Chains A and B, each alone.
Chain A
């Protein structure tokens, strides 16, 4: 029986982990390598490293950190942020990433996903999409959630999956940082629309939010969160104990 995955996400800038509330006002947390080792030891099923560095110096620092993490942590590692070309895939895969997540890069270049999937396989390509309701319609946002692209989200996700995205991380801007639970309405629509794994992101504030997610939407494969793990509000070991008690299949 395949288990539901719990995935901490580490936003990395200039070699340090940061996490914004609604993507604004970033706060420094800890060393990415130390945090990755801690999470792996406490039962995280996978890690996401998101590079939010703008400078080339920072980018070099990021790949150094990635390489160090991959040489010490032996669970799947997904890398995102600044992935705009197939060469960017190559750069992070060589440093130990297992999967590469594309967001704005896929909006800028509609062929990026299929080109990368052809070269590295669907399983390597993760579509990450920031979604917000605008006048009752799910829209795709770009640039870290700051810019409305006007693209309708569900058709966009279906198109990317058809092009070769092997997983979809659905990040709800409406629930992100609010800590009042995942965006179940959005996640249900996406889960019904695609047949690849769906990873829920944005809104988890407590253990019960994950229980509600997997009970309400058994089709969702994984829950992703950042600050609640970084600040110790939710311990992954406690979360997994609770999931097991609620008859949700987990790895322990």
Chain B
């Protein structure tokens, strides 16, 4: 069973539906015991980093997630949920993340040309840097859907894929059992469903 962490950030209807569509057992929960008993944890998130990090801390779910991740349970962070996996973010100030992947989150404005629009919104192609089990059915150049203004950096060893937007932006990361997608697999059509299916099907092939 996959537990989708419900900490009051964003709409989880589409995410839950996408797992339903691939036949994976999924539950939306804020219950620590459910997160502990789940096979895998999915950390979603849209909105502001500071607000989301605060909500995770106030609910105490941050500790459960980091404990479970350190115990080897597969974790997948999506969009802001991926950014929260890192040490810190420089989104309007400086904020601590979960520290499960080494690196930081910075404004894409730091690296993209001035005439590029922010947010980076729309379909962009994946360029792979290393293999990752959740991308085993996905090909170089496949398109996924992005909506973001900040990106993960200083995390070279974890980078699985980037997308070109005037600069290579981190699109997917993995450090052992901790996975992250900057894009929205639940909004990326058949390519996105393949990624979620591969995550749902993960069994002991990581670490």
- Chain A residues near B (Cβ < 8 Å): 1-3, 5, 40, 45, 67, 70-72, 74-77, 93-98, 120-124, 166-167, 195-197, 221-222, 251
Contact = CB atoms under 8 A, between A and B. Distances in A.
Interface string B97-132: 000000000000000000001111111110000000
A51 B31 CA distance: 36
Nearest to B80: A121
Interface in B11-55: 11, 13-14, 17-18, 20-21, 46-48
A75 B120 CA distance: 16
Given A74-B187, A74-B188, A195-B117, A98 B122 contact: no
Contacts of A70: 13-14, 17
A221 B123 CA distance: 11
Contact of B121 (A1, A40, A123, A195): A123
A96 B13 contact: yes
B179 interface: no
A221 B124 contact: no
A3 B125 CA distance: 9
B18 A3 contact: no
Contacts, number: 84
B123 A123 contact: no
Contacts of A121: 46-48
Contacts of A76: 145, 187
Given A122-B119, A197-B121, A2 B165 contact: yes
Nearest to A71: B17
Given A74-B187, A75-B189, A2 B147 contact: no
A2 B122 contact: yes
Contact of A40 (B48, B117, B189): B189
Given A1-B124, A5-B122, A197-B122, 16 more contacts: A2-B124, A2-B165, A3-B123, A5-B123, A45-B123, A67-B13, A72-B17, A74-B189, A77-B14, A96-B17, A121-B46, A124-B46, A166-B121, A167-B121, A195-B118, A251-B143
Contact of B117 (A94, A96, A97, A197): A197
Given A45-B123, A70-B13, A196-B117, A3 B143 contact: yes
B192 interface: yes
Contacts of A197: 117, 121-122
A94 B46 contact: no
11 contacts: A1-B124, A71-B21, A75-B188, A98-B187, A120-B46, A120-B47, A123-B46, A196-B117, A221-B117, A222-B122, A251-B123
B145 to A, nearest CB: 6
A75 B21 CA distance: 13
Interface in B121-157: 121-125, 143, 145, 147
Contacts of A196: 117
